[in-house]
Amino acid sequence: MASADRSTETEEYLPSLYRPSTILPISRHRNALLYLIENYPVTIVVGQTGSGKTTQLPQYLHEAGWSRDGKIIACTQPRRVAATTVATRVAEEMGVRLGEELTLRGFRGVMQVGYSIRFEDMTSMSTRIKYMTDGMLLREALMDPLLSRYSVIMIDEAHERSLSTDILLGILKKIRRKRKELRIVVSSATLQAEEFVRFFMGTEDDAQSGKGNEKEGGGNELAKIISLEGRCYPVDVLYLEEPTENYVEKAVQTVFDIHLKEGEGDILLFLTGRDEIENTVSAIRERSQDLHHRAPQLLPLPLYAGLPHDQQLAVFDPPPENHRKVIVCTNIAEASITIENVVFVIDSGFVKLRAFNPHTGIDSLTSVPISKASATQRAGRAGRTRAGKCFRLYTEAAFGEDMVETVIPEIQRSNLAPVILQLKALGIDNVVRFDFITPPPSELMVRGLELLYSLGALDEYARLTKPLGARMAEMPLDPMTAKIVSPFRSQPTKTQKVKTNGIQLLNSIEFGCTEQILNIAAMTSVQNVFISHEGEKKPAESAKRKFAVEEGDHLTLLNVYQAFTTKGQKSSKWCRDNYLNFKALSRAVSVRAQLKKYLERFTADVDQARSRSDTATGESIRRCLTTGYFAHAARMQPDGSFRSVSGNVILWAHPSSVMFNRKADWVIFHEVVETGNKTFIRDVTSVQKNWLLEYAPEFYRVRE
DNA sequence: GAGCACTGC
């Protein structure tokens, strides 16, 4: 132990190129890992942060020959940033190992180690180890259903149970039956290891009947667990003696208690959202003025995903002399972002979680108690640099009795329309019987199937339609947006033919607005287009008004996109002057380019479509939007609220919408978010009632 | 008249 500790210290002085990877805890398990992977189809690696599994295991596999004969070792990550940083680091390490070829070091390393994320494919023919986002591997499965290029597929951070991870696990279990030589590695936190084993042990029929067994191989031959110790420092966990009514107030108080009574080290405070964070930062700043001017000072910094990028980076800067940083953050710092030098963690015990209600079709975003796994993860953030302390703003009894072990997987609380579409495109005809590690509730399945049917992506036998449904699945868009971008008509179903005199869902080419629809689809795919600098709300509002279009947000977003790419010349200065988010708009440009490539592949008529786009009117664009968003329709009530068509729910235009204080009758909207006690619709556009009846006759006939 | 956890293709 002593020697391990010493080498950890020296590590910080050494350039990363010479990082002595042999001292990582995983190196002791090298042979055991290789033995298991050689002899068992599935290996579950239980490893804490800092065990080195992500960086070392793919290298061991490479050295052991798993990348011979042109095969590739894949390692998936739930986040883009992880895929790129890990790949870069492993390329450096391998460069060192090829010591005699010093001049080729970086080159050789980068060529053998690559990464693939959306918009960035850093791989080549000679790539042997490939880090990638889990969503990217799923995309590849559309082209190569057996993922035949890969000899080993490691699903890293599987315990996070992202949508893509869960789908991949089911797909991999299926692939493994056809490719006995494929090796699957699942990396997991302690709590869920057994669940992964049970999943891979069970046959498909067992999954349906709810019981696993060990039929295949006649025993425990399929999946094995191996545990790696992590490398982190001990963290003292402290609880409240009495529960608190107001954790925000308690948090501020705890910050000052730590500041006055504890030693050096920064503080990480977990809260739930932007509002709470900004209020807390101000409260800490205000109360800091009471500190003696020569005593150590506090520097409170907000951190959440919606914060402009430069302000996010501020949390990594070393604080000025005589200052202690207090980073007040959302869940973003639980797994996505690591900040060095944090010694104290304050955990509110809450997180905002999204859940989809299949009866109303509404996504709610509400604050709920975290899971035990999350609490452990948050506490661990205090022990990355040296021994730390975690102050939990709840009682030990609440931890033991009120908190669930792990959070409900995303697949059990999401709109499944995109999942179903993806599975169908992967050739899974019977999605209800698909081998999910945890099957989603049937109401979610039914709702998803209904939506896809009404969009024309599935026929009355729930088969994927061709070309429309198949093409929709290929595009990186949600199904409703994919419908309006897709250049294909849906084939009328038998009942439609009878009931609607042959009127069908049209497409953007026929409406003559393909170019505009591409821009709108790209804009609704990015977040936070408008920025409001703190204390500058007024000028930001009037800047926004310049782009506003009376008919709604979609045409307003179209205006912004067109201004950015023409007048604004895609410049960051122009964005600043107009209170627009340069990064978001640049991303919209990339998304649009990508969507355009899909369209070009789908149809040779794009040029023709472009010439017709000059004649596009606001009305034709709004009509086209209606063909995809008819299920998201609502009607304004006399009091200014809206009543939704499906679920009959009271909705309010989001304050960011141009419809916030405008009169309208019928509208369609991109998304609904329920927060606290109000339900908001975002990206709202006015339409006419007869368009809804015209473009979605069956949907509205049923509703009436 | 007042507000948006986190990811990913």
What pLDDT score does A196 carry? Answer: 93
Residues A488 and A685 sit within 8 Å (Cβ to Cβ): no
Q: What residue is closest to B9 (Cα–C1')?
A: A476
A642-644 and A633-636 as β-strands: parallel, antiparallel, unpaired? antiparallel
- For the CA of A326 and the C1' of B9, the distance in angstroms is 35
- For the CA of A136 and the C1' of B9, the distance in angstroms is 6
Query: A35-39, A243-247, A645-649: which range is least confident on average?
Result: A645-649
Q: Render pLDDT for A283-310 as a digit per residue (tens, 0 to 9).
A: 999 999 998 888 899 999 999 988 877 7
For the cut 80, the answer to whether the pLDDT of residue A615 exceeds it is: no
What pLDDT score does A16 carry? Answer: 41
Residues A681 and A616 sit within 8 Å (Cβ to Cβ): no
Q: Given pLDDT bands bounded at 50, 70 and 90, which one contains residue A498?
A: very low
What pLDDT score does A415 carry? Answer: 92
Which nucleotide minimizes the distance between its C1' and the CA of A532?
Answer: B3
CA atoms of A267 and A1, how far apart (whole Å):
28
What pLDDT score does A215 carry? Answer: 44
Which nucleotide minimizes the distance between its C1' and the CA of A594?
Answer: B9
Q: Render pLDDT for A56-99 as a digit per residue (tens, 0 to 9).
A: 999 999 999 999 999 999 999 998 888 888 888 888 888 754 43
What pLDDT score does A612 carry? Answer: 59
Query: A1-15, A379-393, A493-507: which range is least confident on average?
Result: A1-15
- For the CA of A527 and the C1' of B8, the distance in angstroms is 14
Which nucleotide minimizes the distance between its C1' and the CA of A307?
Answer: B4
Q: Given pLDDT bands bounded at 50, 70 and 90, which one contains residue A602?
A: confident
- For the CA of A156 and the C1' of B7, the distance in angstroms is 15
Q: What residue is closest to B7 (Cα–C1')?
A: A79
Q: Render pLDDT for A456-471 as a digit per residue (tens, 0 to 9).
A: 999 999 999 988 999 9
Helical residues (DSSP H) of A486-571, grouped into ranges? 494-499, 508-511, 514-525, 537-545, 553-565
Q: What residue is closest to B8 (Cα–C1')?
A: A135
Q: Given pLDDT bands bounded at 50, 70 and 90, which one contains residue A607?
A: low
Proportion of chain A above pLDDT 90, given as a percent: 54
Greater pLDDT, A306 or A197:
A197
Dump strand ranges (E) for A288-341.
297-303, 323-329
Nucleotides in chain B with any atom closer than 7 Å to protein CB: 1-9
Q: Given pLDDT bands bounded at 50, 70 and 90, which one contains residue A22?
A: low
- Highest averaged pLDDT of the listed ranges A359-363, A447-451, A498-502: A447-451
Which nucleotide minimizes the distance between its C1' and the CA of A334?
Answer: B6
A7-14 mean pLDDT: 30
Q: Given pLDDT bands bounded at 50, 70 and 90, which one contains residue A635?
A: very high
Convert A607-636 to b/e letters by CB count within 10 Å (16 or more is b).
eebeebbeebebebbbbbbbbbbbbbbbeb
- For the CA of A136 and the C1' of B8, the distance in angstroms is 8
A122 pairs with which residues across the strands?
A: A115
What pLDDT score does A674 carry? Answer: 82
- The pair of three-digit structure tokens given for residue A447, joined into one six-digit string: 């709702």
Q: What is the pTM of this model?
A: 0.87
Q: What is the DSSP letter of A319?
A: P
- For the CA of A527 and the C1' of B6, the distance in angstroms is 13
A157-186 mean pLDDT: 94
Q: What residue is closest to B6 (Cα–C1')?
A: A332
Q: Render pLDDT for A402-424 as a digit per residue (tens, 0 to 9).
A: 899 998 999 999 999 999 999 99
Q: Given pLDDT bands bounded at 50, 70 and 90, which one contains residue A210?
A: very low
- For the CA of A241 and the C1' of B8, the distance in angstroms is 41
- For the CA of A640 and the C1' of B2, the distance in angstroms is 14
Please give the mean pLDDT across all residues of chain A: 85
Greater pLDDT, A357 or A185:
A185
Residues A506 and A538 sit within 8 Å (Cβ to Cβ): no
